[in-house]
Structure 1
């Protein structure tokens, strides 16, 4: 099983948004889970992907007055459950979807319930981007549609698409831990028709989708945008998240327009964005 490193960052000075930008940059470096703590945060990354030289370079270039130090802890995979169980509380999204772990009680009063065992995979509904994507999905019609969840993590978005009536769902992640997590979570949620693949954007060649869900980060989205467009049906919908309002959204919107994707709308939560595009 893949080993993970916990990097605990201590932050002093600066503005709140300086830490948010740092987290976004760390996401670009491969960190995939973040836990806010007093005076900083913890971030998690596959140990083999941790590039200390790149990390040092990033921290050296932080704004004047924003001081960041860090400590790296190697963690055993089997100890991860105690980390997220200690912090994972049920989440309600848009008063419609209840996300819980296996050790939480059910809540049948909500139209949709998703039971997630995240293990080392990212995506429990707690992060702003996941919540934003789910909100947008709950306002969309998925009945009978073909859906791609790119960078699926735990598979939470794929599972929600299935519960909303999607006929076919493909969930892709380049982390085998995530792929294994989706396989377990789809059975837990009676969404066995979800197809899980371990790999990257090359796996979607030859496929056509009515809806693509991509909650990753700005740089990967920019790199994969052309492939998304080629795989979308006419009038297909692309939802993207994992980036910030302002410059990130502008850059992605401009790139999408060059691919023939029309920007429709976006939602913001704590500076994070989920945006909706239509293939013309």
Structure 2
């Protein structure tokens, strides 16, 4: 299958609005995104590419922030080989070893996660995923009910299961991520993870002890009140996908839903925040 790659360069590479643009691009058929210096690359199949639709999306964002892009045509190639060349094993705090199916296992780590990323987010290499995994390693998950929002490959839900969680519900609006979550759970022999395709509207009406939401600032602001509704008193909420300067606005929104800030971690410009339900 032929693809187009659009390389976006931003005047301010820390502008959170790039996440909004990425979400918009995903909505019109772009199925893979990669971080590059001062921006990101977005990929779309030739059959799904619509130049007029793309321009209509980009026009509104040109009024919000400064960016440029370069369009590159990519002839058909073996995308599995592309993933293999780009996906290196990852180690988290000497405790978690994340690898793909084509990497050799390492039995020296307490927890090993095998991920077949395909076109889904969440190989652990992004700073926000690393931060969320660090929080999980510091949290007692024994017999806990966990909700993993914006689950991507379900890497966080899989780790939660390996750390002793009793039940994990993993939700992503992208059907590629939904299918990837199911496949990766099976690949890691995780039997207590249920994947759902959708957004906050498909969150089951039950209580969770821990909620993980690694998405972006604006989506989090829209969904925080729903998280609070399904989080048990004393339960923990972990948020990531944003920058340090975004913490205050998110914490203020959380306060209105009886969620109290505890602490946050930072890696480069990204952060992950821990909150508790009062």
User: What TM-score, normalized to structure 2?
Assistant: 0.87
Residues 38/172 of structure 1: CA separation in 2 closer, same or farther (3 Å cut): closer
- CA 252–80 in structure 1, closer or farther in 2 if over 3 Å, else same: farther
Q: What is the rounded CA distance, in whole Å, between the counterparts of 2:113 and 2:23 in structure 1?
A: 28
Query: 1: distance between equivalents of 2:124 and 2:87?
Result: 10
Farther off after superposition, 116-125 or 192-201 = 192-201
How many residues were matched structurally?
Answer: 269
CA distance in 2, matches of 1:52, 1:72: 16
Give the Cα–Cα distance (whole angstroms) in 2 for the partners of residues 269 and 216 of structure 1.
16
Residue 236 of structure 2 aligns to a residue whose secondary structure is strand
Correspondence for 1:185: 184
Match of 1:277 in 2: 275
Deviation at 1:178, TM superposition (A): 1.0
Query: How far apart in 1 are the matches of 2:18 and 2:82?
Result: 19
Summarize the alignment of residues 162-173 of structure 1 with structure 2, pairs less than 5 Å apart: 162-173=161-172
Kept in 2: contact 1:174–1:199 (CA 8 A): yes
Quote the residue 1:24 is aligned against: 19
Q: Does structure 2 conserve the Cα–Cα contact (< 8 Å) formed by 1:123 and 1:130?
A: yes
Task: Indicate the residue corresponding to 1:58 in structure 2.
Answer: 61
Structure-2 residue corresponding to 1:151: 150
Q: CA deviation at 1:27?
A: 3.6
Q: Which residue of 1 aligns with 2:252?
A: 254
1:125 corresponds to 2:100: no
2:240 matched residue in structure 1 = 241
**Equivalent pair of 2:90/2:99 in contact (CA under 8 Å):** yes
Structure 2: how far apart are the matches of 1:120 and 1:41?
15
Q: What do the CA deviations read for 1:250-269 (whole angstroms, capped 9, x no partner)?
A: 11010001110000011111
- In the alignment, what sits opposite 2:71? 71
Pairing 1:263–2:261 present: yes
Q: 1:124 to 1:142 in 2, by over 3 A?
A: same
Segments of structure 1 that go 5 or more residues without pairing to the other structure are none
Deviation sequence 1:61-109 (CA, Å, 0-9, x none)? 435xxx6233165787x84423322211001112211100000111111
Question: Matches of residues 212-231 of structure 1 in structure 2 within 5 Å?
Answer: 212-231=211-230
Deviations 1:132-153 (A, max 9, x none): 1001111101010000001111
> Using a 3 Å threshold, how does the CA distance of structure 1 residues 4 and 200 change in structure 2: closer, same or farther?
farther
CA RMSD, aligned part only? Answer: 2.7
CA separation of 1:274/1:44 partners in 2, compared to 1, >3 Å: closer, same or farther? farther
Offset at 1:193? 1.6
Secondary structure of 2:250's aligned partner: helix
- 2:94 partner SS: coil
> TM-score under structure 1 normalisation?
0.86
What's the secondary structure of 1:7's corresponding residue? strand
Q: Distance in 2 between matches of 1:255 and 1:39?
A: 30
Distance 1:69 1:204, change over 3 A: closer
